Amino acid sequence: MSEQFDYIIVGAGSAGCVLANRLSADPAVRVCLLEAGGSDASPRVQTPAGTITLYKSKVFSWNFFSTPQKELNNRRLHTPRGKALGGSSSMNSMIYIRGDASDYDRWAEQGCVGWSWADVLPLFKKSERNLLGQNPALHGTLGELLVDRARDPNPLSALFVKAAGRVGIKANDDFNGGDLEGAGIYNLTQKDAKRLSAYRAFVAPVSDRPNLKVLTGCNVQSLVFEGTQVRGLNLLQDGQPVTLNCSREVILCAGALGSPQILLNSGIGPRAELEAAGVPVVCDLPGVGKNLQDHLDGLVTVRSASPLTLGFSWGSLGSILASPFKYLLQKKGWLTTNYVEAGGFARTPLAGALPDVQFHFVPGYRSHRGRLFEWGHGYAVHTCVLRPKSIGELRLSPQRELEIDYNFLADMDDAKVLIEGLKLARKVLADSSFDGLRGKEMLPGAQVQSDEQLMAYIREYAATVFHPVGTCKMGVDAMSVVTPQLDVIGVQGLRVADASIMPTLISGNTNAPCIMIGEKAAQMIVAGKVTNPATQPTVVPA
């Protein structure tokens, strides 16, 4: 089987869905959107509270594991990624965060012309339909992506915001309003109390376009080259070999793990690693798979006897049984929760002018044993390091399997920030606002107090907060993989547009920035931007 398209987009995630919408708006071009997963038509995906069941799902998640992390007691960290139409936007917590303006200005300062805050703000606004009446200078009202308040936040989420204020963290009702710092209830990408993934926002409404074809169950095996020109790709669709031909561009939107893996499997990457894995070298591009960054996360979790919190107990049985009816009839209740309802951005004593940690508050008990559900009640705060200095990498093993090495705590400054962040999280939870709900701290535990004890706790329990970026770095230096126009250096007809192109990790959740990247890529493709030949390295003929 062989088909011809103008554009082939690999990955129906946050960026890929935007690209599919924007490029297929021109009826003169034929667009194909590929997704390795399947349908998102499941209550587990569409109902916000279903997110907790997706992270270890064999149907909806790629359940990757990292290599043993030497600074985290050689633990292998679970790394879920979305495996359905919508990608990770079909399994995330729906939080709408752009990061700080300085994140994007830093990209521009590193040579990524056109990616400053002034450049990308119009793109954020283009895709957004803000339903909250927030500052129109910073928010869009005509886009496909609805941004709304939580439907029915748990009372403890407001308590967290109150307690944070009492310990010096100001209230913030718009983390995208020009000032990131503060605590508040997160705004969400949802519609009618249902998840609004990138697929539901950008592709489902235009799925009847005759020039747009969406294929699921597609695992890309390799790119097809004519010299150094990409002409299509080989894939397995539901186990059957398929070749798709492309007259203009293949655009990789498979994420920070998937996109570099496709490049490496196709012979684009560090020569020595490709040869060790037995992959014929098409382009010696040393930065592919390097520059991996993610937010390292630490947990404070507390038991509580209060059935006000989300949890399973005889006391909450009535509200649990009533929740489907409350959800269907009123669009309220437990099933509307995204679990990490409140949170914010704060400065530890190690911070400069900008916040260095982010909080995600859960008004329910997070298992101290890593279980999906625990009997009983409680509440928890996740704390992550916003601007990590530790840099990891992806590699192909000699068996061509993907090895994910976050290299967490390679720079111990990250540990120092997380220790201070955990202290600050504890300070918020110690406020008298929680007096009527207080119970035993299960993690780190009352016995863990000194910096040395907290360091040992981090080594034993810290994890990723699921924001991997950077593995197809955008830039102009020797380790760059794509140009500021997102063209892959050294080949033609190939771009990358997803979290992998971020030179540095943004300050917060990554879904909204990936949607912006999709908008930016579409804008450049339509405008006919071309790669600067001066950035091209030596190419090895196939």
Q: Give the annotated binding-site residues.
A: 220
DSSP alpha helix (H) spans, 267-403: 271-276, 317-330
Crossing angle, helix 511-527 and helix 14-24, to 10 degrees?
30
Q: What phi and psi values does residue 423 have, to the nearest 5 degrees?
A: -60, -40
Q: Do 177 and 138 form a contact (C-beta atoms < 8 A)?
A: yes
Pull the structure tokens for residue 293. Answer: 């960054």
Question: Is residue 377 flagged as an active site residue?
Answer: no
Non-local CB neighbours of 429 within 8 Å, separated by 6+ positions: 163, 300, 302, 379, 381, 441
SS in 3 state form for 489-513?
CCCECEEECCHHHCCCCCCCCCHHH
Which residue of the set 295, 360, 382, 467 is catalytic?
467
| Whole-number Å distance between alpha carbons of 527 and 529 | 6
CA distances 412 to 276, 338, 503, Å, are 31, 32, 21
CA distances 332 to 41, 261, 336, 341, Å, are 21, 41, 6, 14
Looking up tokens 């606004």 gives: 125
> Per the annotation, where are the binding residues for FAD?
220
CA dihedral (511, 514, 516, 519) positive or negative: negative
| Whole-number Å distance between alpha carbons of 515 and 509 | 12
**H or E, element range at 428:** helix 413-429
| Whole-number Å distance between alpha carbons of 359 and 337 | 17
Pull the structure tokens for residue 246. Answer: 């492309």
Q: Tally Cβ neighbours within 10 Å of residue 431.
A: 16
Q: Do 180 and 355 form a contact (C-beta atoms < 8 A)?
A: yes
User: Which sequence positions are flagged as catalytic?
Assistant: 467
